[in-house]
Chain A
Amino acid sequence: MILVIVGTLGYPFDRLLRKMDEITPELGEEVVMQLGISEYEPKNTKSFHFESEETLNDLYDRCSLLVCHAGAGTILNGLIRGKSIVLVPRRAEEKEVTNDHQLLLVDKMEKQGKAIGVTDVNGLKEAIFKARGFSSGPAVVDHKLVNYLSDVLLEYSKKC
Chain B
Amino acid sequence: MKEKSYLIENPEKNLKSYPRSMRKLFFMMAKEKPDVIISTGLGWFDIFVFLLAKLSKSHTIYIESWCRTDSCTGTGNILKHIADEFLVQWPELAEDVEGKVKFRGGVI
A binds B: yes
Instruction: Please report the C-alpha to C-alpha distance between residue A101 and residue B43 in the assembled complex, in whole angstroms.
Output: 16
CB-nearest residue of chain B to A143: B105
* A141–B107 CB distance below 8 A: yes
Give the contacts of A21-47 with B (CB-CB under 8 A). none
* A156–B105 CB distance below 8 A: no
Q: Write the B38-78 contact mask toward A (1 if CB under 8 angstroms, else 0).
A: 10000000000000000000010101011111110000000
**Residue from B38, B69, B107 in contact with A105 in the complex, judged by beta carbons closer than 8 Å:** B69
Q: How large is the interface on A (under 10, 10 to 19, 20 to 34, 35 or more residues)?
A: 20 to 34
Dominant SS at the B interface?
Answer: loop
User: Across the interface, which residues of B come within 8 angstroms of A145, CB to CB?
Assistant: 63, 87, 89, 104-107
Q: At the interface, yes or no: A80 with Cβ under 8 Å from chain B?
A: yes
* A149–B67 CB distance below 8 A: no
Distance (whole angstroms) from the CB of B16 to the closest CB of chain A: 16
* A144–B108 CB distance below 8 A: no
Give the contacts of B21-40 with A (CB-CB under 8 A). 35-36, 38
* B61–A149 CB distance below 8 A: yes
Dominant SS at the A interface?
Answer: helix
Most buried by A among B13, B66, B71: B66
How many B residues touch A, CB cutoff 8 Å?
Answer: 24
CB-nearest residue of chain B to A70: B67
CB-nearest residue of chain A to B65: A72
* A101–B35 CB distance below 8 A: no
List 27 interface pairs A-B (beta carbons < 8 Å), by A numbering: A10-B13, A70-B67, A72-B65, A76-B108, A79-B108, A101-B67, A101-B68, A101-B69, A101-B71, A102-B67, A104-B69, A105-B67, A140-B108, A141-B108, A144-B104, A144-B105, A145-B104, A146-B105, A147-B105, A148-B105, A149-B38, A152-B59, A152-B61, A152-B85, A153-B36, A156-B36, A157-B35
